[in-house]
Amino acid sequence: MKILDVKALAIPDVKVIRYARYPDRRGYFSEHFRKSVLGQLDFQRGIEFLQCNESYSRARTIRGLHFQWNPRMGKLVRTLSGRMVDLILDIRKGSPFLGKIMAYDMPADTGADFGEWIWVPPGFAHGNYFDRESRIEYFCSSEYNPACEAGVSPSAGDIDWSICDPRLKSEFDEMAAAEPLMSEKDRNGHTVASWLRNVNSDQFVLNR
Q: Is 56 a known active-site residue?
A: no
- Residue tagged active-site, from 19, 104, 129, 138: 138
Residue 204 sits at the vertex; the CA angle it makes with 199 and 208, to the nearest 5 degrees, is: 125
Q: Are 83 and 168 in contact (CB under 8 A)?
A: no
- Residue tagged active-site, from 19, 66, 126, 129: 66
Spatial neighbors of 15 by CB under 8 A, at least 6 apart, are 6, 7, 8, 9, 41, 43, 118, 119
> How far is the C-alpha of 24 from the C-alpha of 22, rounded, in Å?
7
Going through 31-157 in order, the beta strands assigned E by DSSP cover 51-57, 61-68, 75-81, 83-90, 101-107, 114-120, 124-130, 134-140, 149-151
> How far is the C-alpha of 86 from the C-alpha of 77, rounded, in Å?
9
Instruction: State the alpha helices, DSSP H only, in the chain.
Output: 35-38, 166-176, 184-187, 192-197
In 3D space, the residue among 141, 77, 67 whose CA is nearest the CA of residue 106 turns out to be: 77
Q: Are 60 and 175 in contact (CB under 8 A)?
A: yes
Q: Is 138 a known active-site residue?
A: yes
> Any idea which residues carry the catalytic annotation?
66, 138
